[in-house]
Structure 1
Amino acid sequence: MSASPIPAPDAIRPAAGPILSGADAQAHLKDVAAWLKADRLVPYLGPGVVAASGAGGTVPLAPEALAAELSKRHPAPGRMRTNMWAVAQFIDQRRHRKTLTAWMGEIFAPKLSPSPFQSYLAGLPSSLIVDTWYDGAMRAAFAGTGRTDFGEVQGITRAGITQDIWTRAYDAAGTLVPDATAESWTTILYKPHGAVTPAQNFLVADSDYVEVMTEIDIQSPIPPVVRDRRSFRGFLFLGCRFHDQMLRTYARQIMKRSRGPHFAVVDAASLTRNEARFFAEQGIAVLDLPLGTALDILMDA
């Protein structure tokens, strides 16, 4: 923890997405670590968290890598081959949704060991963790602690579903439970795009998002329990990229009406123009550090 007194999170509300680097970023991250421990920041995790620790290697850890894996099973036209959502849509149309789901299950079947940071997070009494990738490593991290006071809320595809539902809830044992059960959990693991465990729910094709995008601005696809728990907190983005409009839209809507402040650990030099604009518009302070270094600081502070 930093030697100086830690300011209250409300005292720091970046209005224009400042960029801190080097020693300034590291010093600021120590205060961020204290707010994380105090359950004032919601970790918003991308696949980079697993990749940074070297814990992956058996499953794709980026949308482009997943597009390549899907294309191995059913080659997509060259113009869309690096676009995960377009490749998945191509398979959905040509080979049926069941085939797409089966292939996604195969691709993410290898069990990932939790990264050290995921294991660290699982030991904190966080009210809410957002995990945006399809693997089951964060659930495995919770299982490794022996905790039973957590559960998952996962986004689901509405393909073939006649009910007016957007998510499903699963307890610590992986059992499907009523949505209201989530209100009693100490920690909610929110997987907005689904996950391979425990039931192979995947939002991945363009068609999965058509209806979601028409409703997301009025928050229907965002679970009420998530909306409630974000209200008094800010967000800490780790291992995420926002180089696609859909990823930015989801993050913007998940953050909506949250209290702040917000931070993102990123390599500032690699940001696209749209990513930089997104961080500035949302008032997200950029901490320009290697992700592995930042995760170590967060765990050791």
Structure 2
Amino acid sequence: MSDLNLLEQALDEVAAGKRIAYLGPEVSALSGGDWPATPERLCALIEAQVRAPRRATGNLWSVAQFVESRKFRATLNAIVNAAFDAASGNANPIHDWLAHIRPPMVVDTWYDDGLLQAFGGGNWGLVQGVSRNGEWIDLFTRSYDAAGTEVEAPDPAWETLIYKPHGLGKTGSSFLMSDSDYVEVLTEIDIQRPIPEEVQKRRTGLPFLFLGCRFDDQMLRTFARQIAKRSGTGHIAVMPGSLTRMEGRFLNEMNMKRLDMPLKTVKDALTISQT
């Protein structure tokens, strides 16, 4: 089977609820909005407002930690929220397709709300990672219905559960970004405690389709590995261009089939499937 046929089959499986879409920041970039669409661009935006030491430069999580430690969390929140409160831009073909097919679960790892806007109303809900900075309660996530009302836990009756493990960079919301945000999460994630039970149920037996992701950072690999834990086999990743050594090792470890093609190919495949 050719890579294009394999992609089309994987998209059909997502639509049928037999595979889970796992979205990286490059999917959000398809919207063409004003927000930073890569970790590098977000890091540069933060550094343009708060000068970070050379040892942290270029590393989003280290720069966020520096700002939080030296300028307080409120400064980091203000910078990130201002970036992602910006207009979302044009329609996003992958977001719109997912909103149309309403699969049982979508994992969205970037900080924008483009996918939520595409879904609009209906029987779906959001689970997002939250920072414990300033919190005294034992929580890793918060849950919301389609109207944005906080609920105690994800509803098994939701047609779609949108899982944003790193949170949401919007005013009034919360996100994980600094090293200290991730300390307790990474301590507990191997035993799955930060991952909601409903997410664990919905991933059972299903492989993932990774779109717009890179795995060139340990943090990104750890989250992908743990979110996909105890799921199905036969993961597929659309990842164009050269891989780093660690990306190659990670794909081998996950027994993940890599499709060396740009996201435009995914967009074109969706157009074909909808005609």
The bucket for the TM-score relative to the shorter chain is over 0.9
8 Å CA contact 1:266–1:288 kept in 2: the answer is: yes
Partner residue of 1:289? 261
8 Å CA contact 1:46–1:238 kept in 2: the answer is: yes
Partner residue of 1:13? none
Q: CA deviation at 1:72?
A: 1.2
The AA in structure 1 aligned to 2:239 is: V
Q: Does 2:14 match 1:36?
A: yes
3-state DSSP of counterpart to 2:208: strand
Q: Which has the higher contact order (CA 8 A, sep 6+)?
A: 1
Partner residue of 2:62? 86
* Distance in 2, Cα, partners of 1:187 & 1:300: 24
* Distance in 2, Cα, partners of 1:214 & 1:243: 21
Q: Which residue, 115, 125, 134 being the options, matches 2:111? A: 134
Deviations 1:239-262 (A, max 9, x none): 001100010000000000002321
Give runs of aligned pairs for residues 63-142 of structure 1, distance below 5 A.
Answer: 63-113=39-89, 114-142=91-119
8 Å CA contact 1:174–1:198 kept in 2: the answer is: no
3-state DSSP of counterpart to 1:162: coil
* Distance in 2, Cα, partners of 1:284 & 1:24: 16
Partner residue of 2:5? 27
Q: Which residue, 239, 247, 267 being the options, matches 2:212? A: 239
Partner residue of 1:178? 152
Give runs of aligned pairs for residues 168-207 of structure 1, distance below 5 A.
Answer: 168-179=142-153, 181-197=154-170, 199-207=172-180
* Distance in 2, Cα, partners of 1:254 & 1:107: 27
* Distance in 1, Cα, partners of 2:17 & 2:110: 22
8 Å CA contact 2:28–2:110 kept in 1: the answer is: no
Q: Does 2:129 match 1:155?
A: yes
* Distance in 1, Cα, partners of 2:92 & 2:236: 21
Q: CA deviation at 1:32?
A: 1.2
* Distance in 2, Cα, partners of 1:286 & 1:112: 29
Q: 1:245/1:220 Cα in 2 relative to 1: closer, same or farther (>3 Å)?
A: same
The AA in structure 1 aligned to 2:187 is: T
* Distance in 2, Cα, partners of 1:184 & 1:202: 26
Q: CA deviation at 1:198?
A: 7.0
Deviations 1:210-253 (A, max 9, x none): 11111000001001100000003110000001100010000000
Unaligned runs of 5+ in 1: 1-22
Partner residue of 1:250? 223
Partner residue of 2:37? 61
* Distance in 1, Cα, partners of 2:86 & 2:23: 20
Q: 1:39/1:197 Cα in 2 relative to 1: closer, same or farther (>3 Å)?
A: farther
8 Å CA contact 2:28–2:112 kept in 1: the answer is: no
Structure-1-length-normalised TM-score: 0.87
Q: CA deviation at 1:57?
A: 4.2
8 Å CA contact 1:117–1:299 kept in 2: the answer is: no
Displacement over 3 Å in runs of 4+? none
8 Å CA contact 2:107–2:163 kept in 1: the answer is: yes
Q: Which residue, 163, 178, 186 being the options, matches 1:213? A: 186
Q: 1:288/1:223 Cα in 2 relative to 1: closer, same or farther (>3 Å)?
A: same
* Distance in 2, Cα, partners of 1:219 & 1:252: 11
Work out the number of aligned pairs and report it: 272
Q: 1:150/1:214 Cα in 2 relative to 1: closer, same or farther (>3 Å)?
A: same
Q: CA deviation at 1:182?
A: 2.6
Q: CA deviation at 1:47?
A: 1.1
Q: CA deviation at 1:298?
A: 3.6
Q: Percent identity?
A: 46
